A and B are shown apart, each in its own frame.
Chain A
């Protein structure tokens, strides 16, 4: 459904249309107008392009490589099947279209309409033997074509299976890599909180469901590891941002979102003089983060007395 939208009205609604934020009738009306309007059309395209870039304001995630590979495998299998259906001619269609095929043969056998074979060979009192040979020939053609198609189908299936298992192998290798990465990541995490050069600070909050966190600072590798628990979930369009605070600057150590149970582990690398840190803080910020903290303080710690 679409309603008629005037030019001036469409111009007013372009931004909302770019966000798909209009009721369906209005949305369709604006799009329909813009499609044929030399002014609104390019404007809507440009606005849509700009709005689509907001996807990059979503907190980036590290997607499980196994999950990505799994989607890829399914997608490619569907595409192959799609192509296979589109490419494979119908056997019935082939037979019907083939010269001397079943359709011709059947037509010859009905006794109605032009009987080409009988006509070319002269009158035949009964027409029976000629029709029989014609049917046999047609059947032979049909069987040959069917056999050929079956062979092609088998070859295609074999090729498809080979591609499928190649992809599956790739998925399994990706899974092995992912597991190896996971183990290495956990090893690195353990090292980052138990090493010889670690300072630690406990971050606290005054909230009712008090979140808490520990920050581990590995002076040898300049690695910062935040382990947080019981963090409330940020609102839609919001994220948490971790800050290293010195006397001169508030340094962003990245944005993050906790898991549903409120837990989060965050690692960052940043070189800082041993006595430069004055505080650690986590603030609630717009998705994508901000250059300097603007939102509410979620949890923090001063660095006057690091735990080491």
Chain B
């Protein structure tokens, strides 16, 4: 894509648009806003493709980070972060291995479903308090001070929990990847 291959952009979109849409819609809670944000996130990746360094992480990580940042920017610009109503969103898969739900694209959703399962399991290994600060930081885009205000916890406690949670998440997901690589 850094060589100006628009087919690569199309491939990237086809591969990643679902998780990006899910994330952005969950954050901005408005389908039209989500559409704009998703387009701008992919456009930023296209424009800045030459800056992408494979050694600095997976392209999906880069894309999701851009999408999240843009979604949070959109939320902040609307200045209604905490009062957002939810938009109509369809039901997703269960991640507990129980009942199965209807899918619209089994192949694409299977991979996303596996990732969801892995991430959910990793999050479940965290103590509730650590999981809470991580989710507030990631999904609500709250700063550490804002999390402290919201949860009523001292700022130092919030910082410690955030650090421990992020490190534990990294270890869990890293262990999963090692297992995958070892098994493949």
Contact = CB atoms under 8 A, between A and B. Distances in A.
Interface of A: 12, 14-16, 18-23, 45-65, 67-68, 70-72, 74-76, 78-80, 82-83, 86, 181, 224, 233-234, 236-237, 244, 251-260, 264, 266-270, 286-292
A21 B142 contact: yes
A20 B69 CA distance: 8
Interface of B: 4, 6, 9-10, 13-14, 17-23, 25-27, 31, 35, 38-39, 42-43, 46-47, 56-58, 60-61, 64-65, 67-69, 72, 82, 84-102, 104, 109, 112-113, 115-116, 118-120, 122-124, 131-132, 134-144, 159, 162-163, 165-167, 169-170, 173-174
The B interface is mostly helix, strand or loop, or mixed, namely helix
A289 B120 contact: yes
B100 A269 contact: yes
B124 to A, nearest CB: 7
B101 A45 contact: no
Contact of B166 (A19, A67, A236): A19
Given A22-B143, A237-B132, A252-B98, 4 more contacts: A71-B38, A72-B17, A78-B46, A254-B92
Contacts of B142: 21
A68 B169 contact: no
Contact of B119 (A22, A23, A56, A236): A56
B119 A62 contact: no
Contacts, number: 258
Return the 6 tightest CB-CB contacts between A and B, nearest first: A60-B92, A270-B99, A15-B166, A252-B96, A237-B135, A252-B98
12 contacts: A15-B167, A22-B143, A45-B56, A53-B173, A74-B39, A75-B13, A76-B10, A79-B9, A253-B98, A260-B88, A268-B100, A287-B139
B22 A55 contact: yes
A58 B71 CA distance: 13
B86 A16 contact: no
Given A54-B134, A56-B119, A67-B31, A75 B39 contact: yes
Interface of A is mostly: mixed
A47 to B, nearest CB: 5
A51 B166 contact: yes
B25 A61 contact: yes
A224 B93 CA distance: 14
Contacts of A55: 19-20, 22-23, 64, 67-68
Contacts of B65: 48, 52
Contacts of A270: 98-100
A140 B132 CA distance: 73
A257 B68 contact: no
B119 to A, nearest CB: 4
B68 A251 contact: no
Contacts of B92: 59-62, 254-256
A49 to B, nearest CB: 5
B162 A287 contact: no
Given A75-B42, A267-B102, A288-B119, A50 B26 contact: no
Q: Interface centre among B19, B90, B99, by most A CB within 10 Å?
A: B99
Contacts of B26: 58-59, 61, 287
